Amino acid sequence: MPRHLTINEIIALAPDQASIQPARDASNERKWLTVATGETALWGQAHGSGSAPYQTAVDLTEIAFKCSCPSRKFPCKHGMALLLLFERNPAKFQQGDTPPEWVSQWLEKRNASKEPKLQSGSAARTSDPAKDELKSAKKFSNVAEGLAELRTWLNDVIRQGLAEIPSKGYSFWDSIAARMVDAGAPGAARLLREMAGIAATGPGWQQRLLRRIVLLHLLTEGFTNRETLPDTVVSDIKTTLGWTINQEDLFLLDGIHDQWQVLGQRFVEEDRIRARRSWIVSARSNEIALLLHFAHGNTAFPIPLSTGTAMDAEIVHYPSAYPQRGALKSYSFTDNFSFSQLVSLSILENLCRYSSAVSAQPWLERYPFILRSVVPIQSGSEWYVIDNDSNILPLSQNFDRPWYLLAQSGLKPIDVFGEWDGDSFWPLSVITQEGLVNI
């Protein structure tokens, strides 16, 4: 019997908000001629606007979709509708059937495409090492040139003084950011573009801006002196500059096999690219990893994850002086996850861990906090959490759901999971005896 995805997990698959309602509408039983389920898949035939019904199938092992409808959205409403219908009324699905040919062929093709991946990686690729080396040298040289310009630009900013910054327009930042993109350092470009708004963030902006400038400065210095730095620090510099690591290479490394559960998620969108940060925790070692997924335009995130989703998985961490980001080497969803091992900490204990992390990896932008027994309180327009030791953490001024947190607490201590960015805390979920509650 295939695993049921929860409503939240199905909704998380939607390519955009506007696709949810059509999928709900299409999940009406009357709209399906047949629905059936096998060991690892669902399939059905849906009434459509064409003369022939649409053939829709869902691979439940890694959640993949196939549909004969002409929709450009992915997954289309029929794929999501089939999952919604199954979640709501599994009894309607004919069970134990051998899949029809169009489903079995698709599943076989998917399985076949998975196998070579395990053998692959840079070692298995048939590229020319000399060419690769040349390419890599050119890349380093481009970035080095770009960062040298950035260094000059940063020195100019410091020479003229931050007091000049509020009078600068967006193009001041955008032109140097564009240069960084050309140089092959999109990560540096992102940091620069984010800096454009800091002067408008109210009192204390000068120090916040200087902190960003300093991080870029460290990046240029670190890149220049990379030969003298440990590999893990060089990896952090490359990652911060925006270099991608080939996942096939990454999967050559050993990962952590365990049961993992999504503790909390945050979504951001920029230029039609949606990013999803999912923080996951392992059952045995209590280790936390960050999974980053991206979706463009109308496409769905590749894996349906929502707060509370549990899976048996092997997670490989990206190389770093403080490994945090991970990738799913293999996974299968599970319904049995025990939270008994989850350790929450006081504010001070969390800050101590953060201290070690940021000392090892100064470009770390966010760090996961599992706060023990905190109470949310409001003071004027500001919100805070206070723990049993009377220590206070400010909530981010952009956090727009403090009332949801207060509703969960009722001024009684609660365990809260969220992200600390060095200045403020952003709650993502509340840990209750019944499980995780999304905030």
Partner 1 sequence: MLIENIMTCAVLGTERAGVLQFSSTGLDGGLLSSLEQDDRETYLLNAAAVVLLQRRAGYIPAKNSSSLPNPCPKESLTDCGKGMSGLIREAIGGQFRSVFPEALQLIRARRQRISFFLLVDILNAGVAQKNLQVSISEVVGERGKWLASQNEQWSYACLVTSTAVTAALNNDASSLFSIWSTASRAEQSALLSEMRIYCSDTALAVLQSTWKDETAAGRIEIIKCFTSNPKIEEEPFLNNALDDKSIEVRRIAQKILTTIPGSRFSQRILAVVSQFIRFDKHVFGGIGISVTIPQTFDPEWKNYGIDESSWIKDVGDRAWWFIQWISLVPPEHWTTITNETPASLLRLADKSEWSDAIIIGWTKAAALSSDTDWKLAILQHWSRSNDQRTSLSGLFPSINDLADKADDLIIERLDRDIESLHDNHSALPLLQQYTNVWSDNLSRRVIKSIQRTCRQTVKTPQPTWHTRALLKSAALRVSPMLADDFENGWPVIDKTRDEWKSAVDEFTQLLRFRHNLYKEMSYE
Rg of the chain (C-alpha set): 24
Among residues 328, 360, 343, the alpha carbon closest in space to that of 287 is found at 343
Q: How far is the CB of 301 from partner 1 (least distance, A)?
A: 21
Q: How far is the CB of 369 from partner 1 (least distance, A)?
A: 12
The tokens 């020479």 sit on which residue? Answer: 159
State which residue, 251 or 367, has the beta carbon closest to partner 1: 367
| CA separation for the pair 267, 157 (Å, rounded) | 32
State which residue, 178 or 351, has the beta carbon closest to partner 1: 351
Residues that bind partner 1 (CB under 8 A): 7, 21, 24-25, 28-31, 49, 88, 154-155, 158-164, 206-207, 210-211, 213-214, 217-218, 221, 347-348, 351, 354-355, 358-359, 362, 375, 377-378, 384, 386, 390-393, 401, 403-404, 406-408, 410-412, 422, 434, 437-438
Q: Which token pair is 332? A: 């299968």
Do residues 395 and 406 lie in contact, with contact meaning Cβ atoms separated by under 8 Å? no
Q: How far is the CB of 191 from partner 1 (least distance, A)?
A: 15
Instruction: Quote the Cα angle for 273-278-283, to 5°.
Output: 160
State which residue, 325 or 401, has the beta carbon closest to partner 1: 401
Helix ranges restricted to H, 198-293 = 205-224, 231-241, 247-250
- Residue 267: other Cβ atoms inside 10 A: 13
**Which neighbouring-strand residues pair with 291?**
278, 326
Q: How far is the CB of 178 from partner 1 (least distance, A)?
A: 23
Pairing of strands 325-334, 288-296: parallel
| CA separation for the pair 45, 63 (Å, rounded) | 18
Q: How far is the CB of 107 from partner 1 (least distance, A)?
A: 30
Among residues 410, 371, 412, the alpha carbon closest in space to that of 392 is found at 371
Q: How far is the CB of 62 from partner 1 (least distance, A)?
A: 25
Do residues 262 and 308 lie in contact, with contact meaning Cβ atoms separated by under 8 Å? yes
Q: How far is the CB of 211 from partner 1 (least distance, A)?
A: 5
State which residue, 31 or 325, has the beta carbon closest to partner 1: 31
Q: How far is the CB of 30 from partner 1 (least distance, A)?
A: 6
- Residue 221: other Cβ atoms inside 10 A: 13
State which residue, 163 or 200, has the beta carbon closest to partner 1: 163
State which residue, 24 or 190, has the beta carbon closest to partner 1: 24
Q: How far is the CB of 171 from partner 1 (least distance, A)?
A: 21
**How buried is 172 (Cβ within 10 angstroms: 0-12 exposed, 13-18 middle, 19+ buried)?**
middle
State which residue, 181 or 360, has the beta carbon closest to partner 1: 360
Do residues 423 and 397 lie in contact, with contact meaning Cβ atoms separated by under 8 Å? no
State which residue, 65 or 383, has the beta carbon closest to partner 1: 383
State which residue, 31 or 110, has the beta carbon closest to partner 1: 31
| CA separation for the pair 187, 167 (Å, rounded) | 25
